Amino acid sequence: MARPGHSTAWLPLLVLLFAAGAAAQSGCLSATFTGGRTFLKCNQLPVSVLTTILRNTAPTLDNTALSFDVPVPASAEYAGGAYTIYATVALPGNATSHNTVWQAGPISGGRVSQHSISGPNVQSLQRLDFLSGTSTGASNSRLHRRNLHGVLNGVGWGVLIPLGAMIARYLRVFEAADPAWFYLHIACQISGYALGVAGWGLGLKLGSESKGLTYTTHRSIGIAIFCLATLQVFALFLRPDKKNKYRVYWNAYHHSVGYSVIVLAAVNIFKGLNILKPATGWKTSYVVILATLAGVVLLLEAITWAVVLRRRKRNRAHAGANGTGVQL
């Protein structure tokens, strides 16, 4: 099945199965309900085939002409637990090989409902050669790009950016780590930003190719993350000197925007996992990563506070011994 305007590459044939004319079929036995009403119990029912062009995710059951010629109307039969479709089609562009997608969606209220967008439903592509009658599994480049989009954003926004923030908050407390902590912080943030932007751009490309299916919340959060992270990058060029009176306001802005990016990224990664629906291990792995980072944060928070309090106590004692009365 295909989107309108793509008949040169895909054969948009929607097959709907109905039980029709059961009374005229062989293999039916008469049976009676408890109240005396009779009905037919049949082992085999005829299969009706409808063809239509998909224009949305919930097409009607109207039998409409396709965008290419079908000289002989399609028919189908059910035998041995499988449906077989018979059809004669005029191949567009004089090509003998075409991509096909096989899907199955439930019928509700006289309409075909949207099929699943995970698991086998996103792995049902085939390259069918009508001349030889052979078919091969087609490479699902879109699925690969979706996976790459998830990995880039997961590592960039979800791991490197939080790690860089942890380095800035906790390593700077230790005098021996200065200025190494700053360069480690910058390295993590730049790497995370680069991977995140690459994943974000790939996500926009995937969204532009998706007709009729838009993940609005996931997309909006992704754009917000990109804007805030980009603002952080440019704000570095406006960072006041440490002795500048506006430095405290810049620090407050820098911290609040940075933590906002981390929280939004975690939320959006889970939304992306719910959309992509990978194997359970992927979501479990990310939960383990978050839990590990949270545990390290709690440990480092306790250690840094202990270091800071001990340093303050030592400075007070040193100031008192010198008779300066200066408290640091």
List binding-site positions for heme b: 149, 185, 218, 254
The alpha carbon dihedral of 16, 141, 273, 286 has a sign of: positive
Q: SS3 breakdown of the chain: % helix, strand, coil, rounded to 5?
A: 50, 15, 35
Nearest by Cα to 185 from 194, 198, 200, 172:
172
Amino acid making up residue 17? L
Query: Are 195 and 160 within 8 A, CB to CB?
Result: yes
3 state SS of 171: helix
Q: Which residues contact 314 (CB under 8 A, 6 or more apart)?
A: none
β-sheet bridge partners, residue 159: none
* Structure-block tokens of residue 27: 């293999």
Asked if 10 and 101 touch (Cβ cutoff 8 Å), the reply is yes
